[in-house]
Amino acid sequence: MGVLVVNSLGASVAGAVEARRGEFGTLADGRKVESVELANAKGMSVRILALGGVIQELKAPDRNGKSADVVLGYATAQQYVDQPQYFGATVGRYANRIAAGKFSLDGKQYQLETNDGPNHLHGGKRGFDKVLWKIESVSAGSPAKAVLTYASADGEGGYPGKLQVTATYTLNDKNELSIEYRATTDKPTIVNITNHSYFNLAGEAAPTDVFGHRLTLFASKYTPVNATLIPTGERRAVAGTAFDFTKPHTIGERVRDGRDEQLRIGRGYDHNYIVDGEAGKLRPAARVEEPTSGRVLELLQDAPGVQFYSGNFLDATSTGKSQRVYRQGDGFCLEPQVFPDSPNRSDFPNARLNPGQTYVNTMVLRFSAAP
């Protein structure tokens, strides 16, 4: 069974996924925020904003075929600017933290903004999440596709090189949403771009946190952090610790285990896991199952690491789309990326991009339902 969609040549395509352009209101300064919606006939749809490439809504069916919005977010565009929690956003140029905002390339030191205590986080105050991207193309079909681009000027946010970034979102009729970031530069620079969706598979409007979600992480090691959440350099085995999700555990089972120093530092999970298998190849990173709805999210990625964040800093200062106040643990993030602070650690995966090279970060979010 599939929906019939008319493609650009006027022919009908069975099983094709619909694509629509729209608008998502205006910002306080009067700029319009364009949007795109991709929707298939299997109950899955996604709304993407030109502002930050934000995934503002993501609907997926439960075990009875009932769809619900499974990502946290705001009802208006301006809230994404005023109350940054990076809901659904594209984060960059460097997602995650860089110690003291400093790094050097070819002997030259660079100083980035320090916007997270002493460190640089998610590209600084005006990172990729706060800028208007260009909706380059939108196409229905099998799969449907939206391509967004952003040109980051040389020196923007303190980063060297003009960076040309493309974010491609595709939705197929197998309930797979893929996101692919690509970037090129005209000078050596550093890059780490990811998507910062906060999921709650019970539904964004459901009055429940994510602690009952059962999580599997295909990662036997993670990178512990210091008091300001910068990796110490150690690659620690998860075995025998509260960080072991190689077999499914609920997110809440051990999140309050105060005997674990790493959980105390992060106020929960806020750590980079080293995904098993070969970086550069699409492989399973995570599987999350929400028992009441049956919704299952599987994450496949080619990046070496995934930041698992259990929504520790959601502190009731943001009111979401369905007028629900978001509190600690109401959503979780899985952010495929190179490791935090890689530019300062030669033993971590490389975050450097040279002219002539193309940075690629691909992730697939596969939704299904368990009986």
Annotated binding site for beta-D-galactose: 96-97, 196-198, 270
Query: What is the size of the binding site for ligand BGC (CB under 6 A)?
Result: 9
Q: Which two tokens stand for residue 27?
A: 């910002």
Are 16 and 140 in contact, with CB atoms under 8 Å apart?
A: yes
Question: For the window 195-234, what string marks contact with ligand BGC as x by the rule CB under 6 A?
Answer: ----------------------------------x-----
204-241: buried (b, 16+ CB within 10 Å) or exposed (e) per residue? bebeebbbbbbbbbbbbbbbbbeeebbbeeebbebeeb
**CB of residue 85 to ligand BGC, shortest distance in Å:** 5
Q: Which of 45, 85, 178, 184: binder of ligand BGC (CB under 6 A)?
A: 85
List the Cα angle 111/116/117 in 5-degree steps. Answer: 90
301-332: buried (b, 16+ CB within 10 Å) or exposed (e) per residue? bbbbbbbbbbbbebeeebebbeebebebbbbb
Question: Closest CB to ligand BGC among 223 and 307?
Answer: 307
| Intra-chain end-to-end CA distance of the chain, in Å | 21
Question: Closest CB to ligand BGC among 173 and 270?
Answer: 270
Question: Closest CB to ligand BGC among 32 and 267?
Answer: 267
Q: Note whether 262 binds ligand BGC by CB under 6 A.
A: no
Q: Which of 57, 156, 289, 335 is catalytic?
A: 335
- Note if 271 is an active site residue: no
Q: What's the count of helices (H) and strands (E) in the chain, helices before strands?
A: 2, 32
What would you measure as the largest C-alpha separation in the chain, in angstroms?
Answer: 63
Question: Closest CB to ligand BGC among 127 and 160?
Answer: 127
Are 359 and 196 in contact, with CB atoms under 8 Å apart?
A: no
Contacts to ligand BGC from residues 330-359, by CB under 6 A: 333, 335
Question: Closest CB to ligand BGC among 194 and 368?
Answer: 194
Q: Note whether 129 binds ligand BGC by CB under 6 A.
A: no
Do the bridges between strand 305-309 and strand 332-337 make them parallel or antiparallel, or are there none, so unpaired? antiparallel
Q: Which of 57, 173, 204, 270: binder of ligand BGC (CB under 6 A)?
A: 270
**CB of residue 68 to ligand BGC, shortest distance in Å:** 23
Q: Note whether 172 binds ligand BGC by CB under 6 A.
A: no
Are 293 and 327 in contact, with CB atoms under 8 Å apart?
A: no
The CA distance from 119 to 103, in Å, is 11
Q: For residue 188, which of 338, 344, 342, 355 has the smallest C-alpha distance?
A: 355
**CB of residue 337 to ligand BGC, shortest distance in Å:** 9
Question: For the window 277-316, what string marks contact with ligand BGC as x by the rule CB under 6 A?
Answer: ------------------------------x-x---x---
- Note if 196 is an active site residue: yes
Q: Which of 196, 213, 271, 290 is catalytic?
A: 196
**186 by DSSP, 3-state: which?**
coil
**CB of residue 230 to ligand BGC, shortest distance in Å:** 11
Q: Note whether 176 binds ligand BGC by CB under 6 A.
A: no
Enumerate the active-site residues: 196, 335
The residue ranges that bind ligand BGC (CB under 6 A) are 85-86, 229, 270, 307, 309, 313, 333, 335
